Amino acid sequence: MIEGVTLFQIMSLTTIVFFIGVYGFLTRTNLIAMLMSLELMVNAEAINFVAINKYLSPAVLQGQIFSLFIVALAAAETALALAIILHLYRLTQNIDVKEVKTLKH
Amino acid sequence: MEQYIFYILSAIIIVFALLSVTTTKLYRATMYLLFVLVAVSGIYFLLKYNFMAAVQLSVYAGGIMILLVYAVMLTDNIGQPIRSIPRNWKILPAIITVATAVFAIYAIYNFNVGLAINGNSEATTVEQVGEKLLSYSDTGFVLPFEVISILLLAAMIGAIVIAKAKKLVNQENI
């Protein structure tokens, strides 16, 4: 727990960050920029897991361990997505979602 | 004291997250995202979960950021503004996200199960995390741990296979 900070404040912060990520995901059309918005959302959720675990049931570690798995999944996802984006760029010289239509190998 | 550090970190996170999704230069957006990730690791330090903060710094601010920077430099003209939807159309996602965020915060505020708890708890040590990750008991996490190792290996091989460059035509003759 953070001294003097309530869970409501932490969850408000993560909600705001999550919806900033949603806004970026909706407005960007560049694939890498969309991926970065996704990272914002994943980060907000990981903070939520840790904070709720710390505040509501500090005796168990489930939420804290789960946030570690979230980071591992995000790393795997980012590596794969960037590989796909680089391959796409090599094929079409373009990573704009409005114009890219192919994913041929 | 910790309270004010939390507020400063929150301000950094929100401001740089906003800049990251609204700036028109992709490389700058990446750098703003780096500030957000480092500030998030500060939040983990404040929550006394030092191992997660270290993981956040090394995996996110270290690994993923380098991947993103490489991808940006390989695919994008640094000086060129990035494409997004037309300016007039941005008002609609803005309204939708602000409305949903306000609704979500309102819902959280009314869901009054211990959300006003305020106090101090002990730190999570690396020993506790390690024991949980490799424990076979009911609350242990050895199976997800193994599954995620396989997943990381599969993702690594998949990324190599997908991103592998085709052989250049001229190299065959040399």
Q: Residues B10-15: what's their mean pLDDT?
A: 95
Chain B partners within 8 Å of A47 (Cβ): 40, 43-44
pLDDT score of B174 more than 50: no
Please check whether residue B120 touches A, CB under 8 A.
Answer: yes
Interface of A with B in 24-83 (CB under 8 A): 24, 26-30, 32-33, 35-37, 39-40, 43, 46-47, 50-51, 54-56, 58, 60-62, 64-65, 67-69, 71-80, 82-83
Residue B75, pLDDT score:
82
Whether A82 and B59 lie within 8 Å, measured CB to CB: no
Global pTM value? 0.89
Q: B73 and B136 share a domain?
A: no
Q: Which residue bears the tokens 């995996």?
A: B59
Question: 3-state DSSP call for residue A35?
Answer: helix
Domain tally, chain B: 2
pLDDT score of A7 more than 70: yes
The interface pTM score, or ipTM, of the predicted complex is 0.90
Which tens digits make up the pLDDT trace of B112-169?
666 656 555 778 888 888 888 888 888 888 999 999 999 999 999 998 888 776 665 5
Chain A partners within 8 Å of B133 (Cβ): 65, 68
Instruction: Flag whether B92 is in a domain.
Output: no
Give the residue with greater pLDDT, B65 vs A6.
B65
Tokens of residue B108, six digits: 């959280």
* pLDDT, averaged across chain B: 85
Give CA separation, A40 vs B8, B57, B108, B141, B158, in Å. Answer: 18, 15, 20, 26, 24
* Domain range for B41: 1-84
The rounded distance, in Å, linking the Cα atoms of B154 and B53 is 26
Q: B142 and B77 share a domain?
A: no
Instruction: Flag whether B135 is in a domain.
Output: yes
Whether A29 and B84 lie within 8 Å, measured CB to CB: yes
Q: Bin B114: left if φ > 0, else alpha if -120 < ψ < 50, else beta.
A: left
Please check whether residue A103 touches B, CB under 8 A.
Answer: no
The rounded distance, in Å, linking the Cα atoms of A3 and B120 is 6
The rounded distance, in Å, linking the Cα atoms of A55 and B146 is 28
Q: How far is B169 from chain A (nearest CA, A)?
A: 15
The rounded distance, in Å, linking the Cα atoms of A65 and A98 is 38
CATH 3.90.480.20 fits A7-92, yes or no: no
Q: B66 and B136 share a domain?
A: no
Last residue of a domain, one of B84, B105, B140: B84
Instruction: Flag whether B58 is in a domain.
Output: yes
